Amino acid sequence: MTTSTSPQAGTRIHTIAVVGYGSQGRAHALNLRDSGYDVVVGLRPGGPTEARAQADGFVVKPPAEAVRDADLVAVLVPDMVQKKLYEEVLAPNMKQGACLLFAHGLNIHYGMITPREDLDVVLVAPKGPGALVRREYEIGRGVPCIWAVHQDRSGHAEQFALDYAAGLGGARANLIRTTFREETETDLFGEQAVLCGGASSLVQAGFEVLVEAGYQPEIAYYEVLHELKLIVDLFYEGGITRMLEFVSETAQYGDYVSGPRVIDASVKQRMKEVLKDIQDGTFTRNWIAEYEAGLPNYKRYRQADLDHPIEKVGRELRAKMVWLQQQSADQPQSQRTAAA
């Protein structure tokens, strides 16, 4: 069942151009349309997502045309293409006094995009992947959203951000005000130190320690990667408290005495160094240089991860997990992948 959240009376946001139709773009467009907004999707003609947006019933136009009459333009394309998109397409074609919306503040916070003076500039970031944003909306709930205002030229930018978040279903759950700086820096830190960089490096190191000690790679895979989902699900449902409720006393004692030996004060200090690189712009400058050079190091790092022995073992073991194959068949890749 879809529960509509109509635009507030008096709002001047009627037409929204969603530029990009990946995981978040599709969810935003569908939810906003079901909430009563006139939504047009801006995509490169002949691109991989054009047919899907059309199949979903949207009017699809090239981005320059899509944004021309829009009251609000939602930029939902990857970070590293946003600057060029804004300078070559959005800035010359957005109407006077429109609202420019981002789901991640990187380009604004680090000054890669300097918005036109007449535009309202806001941020709305659902705290979940696109598939979850859509699914929760359809069943009458919502995913929490954080929101921020960077530039308020109309005097109504805050309301526009709140209306947009409500249109996604976020007001049914929780809306938290933030800043572009806070959202950007905490998001990057979380990805690098814990969620992606930290977690994957911890898993790889644990696998290597067990295999080098003579244990079977298959057993090592199950212990340090496969079962991690069980723990993360408990974290997600009720924090560390819930995890401690559901693991054995032996596991709890090991947590208390060995966790701090692995993640000690030196790790926290290095996390602070990661955060400093994010705060002073070092990470973003390096990432821009890497992108402009054609991603040579990025490709090398990625290939090293793909070639790690845990990946070969994992592919073989997952091939025998029938339930995973069923999940993959039921859920298209574009819905499973979260936007960065």
Binding residues for Mg(2+): 187, 191, 223, 227
Which residue among 14, 28, 104, 109 is the active-site one? 104
Q: Which residues are documented as binding site for NADP(+)?
A: 21-24, 44, 49, 130
Structure tokens at 194: 């814990």
CA distance 136 to 128: 10
Contact present, 167 and 39 (Cβ < 8 Å): no
Torsion sign across C-alpha atoms 143, 11, 114, 66: positive
Contact present, 41 and 59 (Cβ < 8 Å): yes
Cβ neighbours of 267 (radius 10 Å):
14
CA distance 154 to 95: 13
Contact present, 163 and 13 (Cβ < 8 Å): yes
Q: Which residues are documented as binding site?
A: 21-24, 44, 49, 130, 187, 191, 223, 227, 248
Contact present, 146 and 178 (Cβ < 8 Å): yes
Nearest Cα residue to 26 out of 180, 155, 153, 132: 132
- Phi first, then psi: give them for residue 102, nearest 5 degrees: -120, 155
Distances (CA, A) of 331 to 55, 78, 324: 17, 22, 11
**Is residue 14 annotated as part of the catalytic site, yes or no?**
no
Query: SS3 for 26?
Result: helix
Q: Which residues are documented as binding site for substrate?
A: 248
Nearest Cα residue to 169 out of 54, 309, 4: 4
Catalytic residue numbers read: 104
